[in-house]
Chain A
Amino acid sequence: MAQETARTHGLAQWVRDLLPYAGLVLLIVYFSFASDFFFNLRNFERLATDSATLILVALGMTLVILVAEIDLSVGAVVALLSVVVAQAMAAGIPWHLSVLLILCLSVLIGAFNGVITVIGQIPSFIVTLGTMAIATGAAFVFTGSISVPIADDTFLDLFYSDTVWGIPVPLLIVIIAFAGSLLQLQRTAFGRELFAIGTNIEAARLSGVAVKRNKIAVFAIMGFLVGWASVLSASRLGSGAPGSSPALTLDAIAAVIIGGASLFGGKASILRALLGALLIAVLNNGMVLLNINVDSQYIVKGLIILLAVVLERIAAREVAR
């Protein structure tokens, strides 16, 4: 139980286990030498707050991938909800009610994905592709394609620059979400059942695990985390922007896969997904500092996922042998 997942020790497995750690260290070392602005406290602080959105989504994506599903709608939903929260405040709804509103909405959207996937027996990538189209469309329709500025200073400060016990609030939310997810996955019956579902869904069903209910719950939790991600994103940008997070979905999937998750379910780790998310965040940050064309990030990330996926499959074969 102390181990998060099975460990077998083929070469590919070793490389894969090391990838998030070594990759992160290598990137940090490289950027520290390559840029004068990288290795300092202020940049790290910025990195931490900037990556909060990604980390929250990656945590949710870990659960989704663990049960062998996928959510392609998260980026679009974050954009939509940041628009909604901005508009809610613009309409005079107090910030706390606005936040509550989008949290409810996001859980509903997540649960919708889950119900259609599980009850409708439709592959989740199709369902969430549909949700993605709807959310993207809705975000642009609501705003007329213009960003909605947020004027509420309490909201802007609280979820971006304010600190509690010296810790910036976004970081605090991330820490809470991380600890919560970790506990949930490792130390609750629900979490252990998710491993069972992802490993062998039929065996789990025959052992009396409520497979459908658990899967829907996973999508709803994903929604909850996406809701908080939207709050942080809106606060950081100071507005609700309909096209704000084009790469978020892919970044989150990349983070989870780099973190060693199996695309066929049953294998995923909260800690390693966090490392994966940090790796992506450092990459984003460092490339900006080095004035590398932002767009080549896509290629780099694509190749990194490719590497992680190939390693994962080779490692799986090593186990099978």
Chain B
Amino acid sequence: MTESLELHAVSKRFPGVLALDGVSLRVLPGEVHAVMGENGAGKSTLMKIAAGIHTPDSGSIVLDGQSLTFRGPHDAALAGISTVFQELTVLENRDVAHNVMVGREPVRMGGLLVDRKSLYRQAQAVLDRLGIDLSAETPVASLSAGERQMIEIARACAVNPKVLILDEPTSSLGREEELVLFALIDRLRGQGTSIIYITHRMSEVFQLADRITVLRDGRRVATGPTGDFSKDSLIKAMVGRDVPERRHGVTVDNLPIALEAADLGRRGHVKNATFTLHAGEVLGVAGLMGAGRTELARLLAGIDRPDHGHMRLFGEEFAPSGVKDAAARGVAYVSEDRKQLGLLLSLTVADNIALPALRRFSGLAGLLSFTKLRAFARKWMEELSVKAKTPDTVVNTLSGGNQQKVVLAKWLSTEPRVLLLDEPTRGVDVGAKAEIHQRIRNLADSGVAVLAISSELPEILAISDRVLVMAQGRIAGIVNAEDATEESLLELAFSEMGADAA
């Protein structure tokens, strides 16, 4: 049998990072091929290249012996490669049939009319063929997340693709919906469709996949039949980066409790989170993409309201009404998305650093003292060694590392007692990274309670005293960083927490 899809020695570079380094992937007809790897291993980039969203810098895409170049996802779909992305693209305002058949609505009378009968008939036929128990006339607005995922898959299958790419299709599904999906995938496989399946869930891989490819740091590290792998060997293949030798491990028992969460939850994101954060420790938060780490931090920071559970801050009831309230009580959150949620890119360093504290500089008649404000900004710039000429430098012109330091300076300048850091070194060069790590340690040593989310396990191990691992919205475990290894953390991150995953 010839392979239906072959990605041959594909490389892709993004500014500052080599996302894929000569990765090859062969997918046979009628097989489910799982692609696994840690966060940032290159899975998404590889899929986006196959789906025609990114063009590779080098390497080729060969389908049924023909070399192809895609100018967009539409081209890939025409060639027979359909993709279901993790972010749903269902049209909320339309019914199921219009979603399944969008862009391919059958027409009659020379295109003057949409042939509604056959539109609904064809859509229903696709649904039936896939075993999806839905009427084509149902409005999407009334469907559950899982049903929407099914619609998305039906749309991808309506063209009878040779290759179907599924990017974490179960991340928003409940257990029953998962079973429906697995049956559907089986059926497609039986019909000869090749399926590339990206997932973070171990059990699914062993249940579904015929073969597995593991990526690490943009390279392919293993490919083989599922039977050749065990859970342990998979995890071993995924890890293997340099792990720092020096570890921390403050005994937290002697430290005062800063923040305490009991049974904290928010529907669909965080479940029954119970943990303590001590003043003077760095609590690393690990977990796979979508495990609920950012959502947990947002609850602690007062950005989102929890549905249940409660928090205590230094022994007092803590139910912040918003960011302002939380900040006033000494809880600061540094967002993972520096450009969208952290910075005022077109304004100056001083504007950014002083923003949460602005009102403090209002003097006579409410006028700001620029002298004080500048001095304040300069002090914090120096404190974090932000490399900018003056406080009046526009943030836009700084490097990623310096931008990140500006965001940190902004929140450190409020002198928080609890600091929540979300991916504090994302998109930051090595030098700045080390500086930021040192800074985080110093803060903890000075008595600040630090919670640091990171997708890089070595980073987690380098800065944390304890590590909290999340999986599917729940806390899978809290371990001492000294005793932890990448493998043990990843194993926790891959653990599956009972029946209802969503």
- Footprint of B on A, CB under 8 Å? 1-3, 5-8, 183, 187-190, 192-193, 195-196, 199-200, 202-210, 266-267, 319
A-B contact pairs, 10 of them (CB 8 A): A189-B362, A189-B366, A189-B368, A203-B340, A204-B344, A206-B323, A206-B333, A208-B324, A208-B328, A266-B346
Given the contacts A187-B367, A206-B333, A207-B356, A6 and B346 also touching, CB distance less than 8 Å: yes
In the complex, residue of chain A having the shortest beta-carbon distance to the beta carbon of B359: A189
In the complex, residue of chain A having the shortest beta-carbon distance to the beta carbon of B354: A192
For residue B38, give the distance in angstroms from its CB to the closest CB of chain A.
28
For residue B135, give the distance in angstroms from its CB to the closest CB of chain A.
33
B335 interface hit (Cβ, 8 Å):
yes
B374 touches A1 (CB 8 A): yes
A267 touches B346 (CB 8 A): yes
In the complex, residue of chain A having the shortest beta-carbon distance to the beta carbon of B368: A187
Among the 9-residue stretches B159-167, B245-253, B391-399, the one with 4 or more Cβ atoms under 8 Å from chain A is B391-399
8 Å CB interface, B433-458 against A? none
Binary A-proximity of B188-209 (CB < 8 A = 1, otherwise 0): 0000000000000000000000
B366 touches A1 (CB 8 A): no
For the complex, give the distance between the alpha carbons of A41 and B343 in Å.
49
For the complex, give the distance between the alpha carbons of A253 and B391 in Å.
32
In the complex, residue of chain A having the shortest beta-carbon distance to the beta carbon of B367: A187
For the complex, give the distance between the alpha carbons of A208 and B359 in Å.
11
Which 5 A-B pairs give the minimum distances between C-beta atoms?
A: A208-B324, A6-B346, A189-B358, A199-B344, A6-B394
A209 touches B355 (CB 8 A): yes
What A residues does B318 contact at CB under 8 A?
A: none
Given the contacts A196-B344, A203-B342, A204-B355, A1 and B370 also touching, CB distance less than 8 Å: yes
Given the contacts A188-B368, A208-B323, A195 and B392 also touching, CB distance less than 8 Å: no
For the complex, give the distance between the alpha carbons of A193 and B354 in Å.
10
Given the contacts A1-B348, A193-B358, A210-B324, A203 and B343 also touching, CB distance less than 8 Å: yes
Given the contacts A1-B373, A2-B392, A208-B356, A192 and B341 also touching, CB distance less than 8 Å: no
For residue B351, give the distance in angstroms from its CB to the closest CB of chain A.
6
What B residues does A207 contact at CB under 8 A?
A: 323, 355-356, 410
Given the contacts A1-B391, A204-B355, A183 and B367 also touching, CB distance less than 8 Å: yes
Given the contacts A1-B351, A1-B374, A200-B345, A188 and B367 also touching, CB distance less than 8 Å: yes
In the complex, residue of chain B having the shortest beta-carbon distance to the beta carbon of A267: B346
For residue A321, give the distance in angstroms from its CB to the closest CB of chain B.
12
B323 touches A205 (CB 8 A): yes
For residue A184, give the distance in angstroms from its CB to the closest CB of chain B.
8
A3 touches B348 (CB 8 A): yes
For residue B334, give the distance in angstroms from its CB to the closest CB of chain A.
9
In the complex, residue of chain A having the shortest beta-carbon distance to the beta carbon of B346: A6
For the complex, give the distance between the alpha carbons of A83 and B367 in Å.
36
For residue B106, give the distance in angstroms from its CB to the closest CB of chain A.
37
For the complex, give the distance between the alpha carbons of A273 and B184 in Å.
62
Instruction: Identify which of A187, A196, A208 contacts B351 (C-beta below 8 A).
Output: A196
What B residues does A206 contact at CB under 8 A?
A: 303, 323, 333, 335, 341-342
For the complex, give the distance between the alpha carbons of A188 and B369 in Å.
9
A195 touches B347 (CB 8 A): yes
B327 interface hit (Cβ, 8 Å):
yes
For the complex, give the distance between the alpha carbons of A1 and B375 in Å.
12
What B residues does A209 contact at CB under 8 A?
A: 324, 355
For the complex, give the distance between the alpha carbons of A187 and B354 in Å.
13
What B residues does A195 contact at CB under 8 A?
A: 344, 347, 351
What A residues does B85 contact at CB under 8 A?
A: none
B361 interface hit (Cβ, 8 Å):
yes
In the complex, residue of chain A having the shortest beta-carbon distance to the beta carbon of B355: A207
For the complex, give the distance between the alpha carbons of A188 and B360 in Å.
11
What B residues does A319 contact at CB under 8 A?
A: 346, 396
Most chain A beta-carbon neighbours within 10 Å: one of B344, B351, B396? B344
What B residues does A200 contact at CB under 8 A?
A: 340-341, 343-345
B362 touches A203 (CB 8 A): no
A202 touches B348 (CB 8 A): no
For residue B339, give the distance in angstroms from its CB to the closest CB of chain A.
9
What A residues does B324 contact at CB under 8 A?
A: 208-210
Most chain A beta-carbon neighbours within 10 Å: one of B351, B391, B396? B351
For residue B326, give the distance in angstroms from its CB to the closest CB of chain A.
8
B350 interface hit (Cβ, 8 Å):
yes
What B residues does A183 contact at CB under 8 A?
A: 367
A192 touches B348 (CB 8 A): no
What A residues does B344 contact at CB under 8 A?
A: 195-196, 199-200, 203-204, 266
What A residues does B303 contact at CB under 8 A?
A: 206
Given the contacts A6-B346, A203-B343, A319-B396, A188 and B351 also touching, CB distance less than 8 Å: no
What B residues does A3 contact at CB under 8 A?
A: 348, 392, 394
What A residues does B348 contact at CB under 8 A?
A: 1, 3, 6
What A residues does B394 contact at CB under 8 A?
A: 3, 6-8
For the complex, give the distance between the alpha carbons of A187 and B373 in Å.
11
For residue B344, give the distance in angstroms from its CB to the closest CB of chain A.
4
Given the contacts A189-B362, A206-B333, A207-B356, A199 and B370 also touching, CB distance less than 8 Å: no
For residue B363, give the distance in angstroms from its CB to the closest CB of chain A.
10
For residue B328, give the distance in angstroms from its CB to the closest CB of chain A.
8
In the complex, residue of chain A having the shortest beta-carbon distance to the beta carbon of B340: A202
B351 touches A203 (CB 8 A): no
For the complex, give the distance between the alpha carbons of A209 and B352 in Å.
12
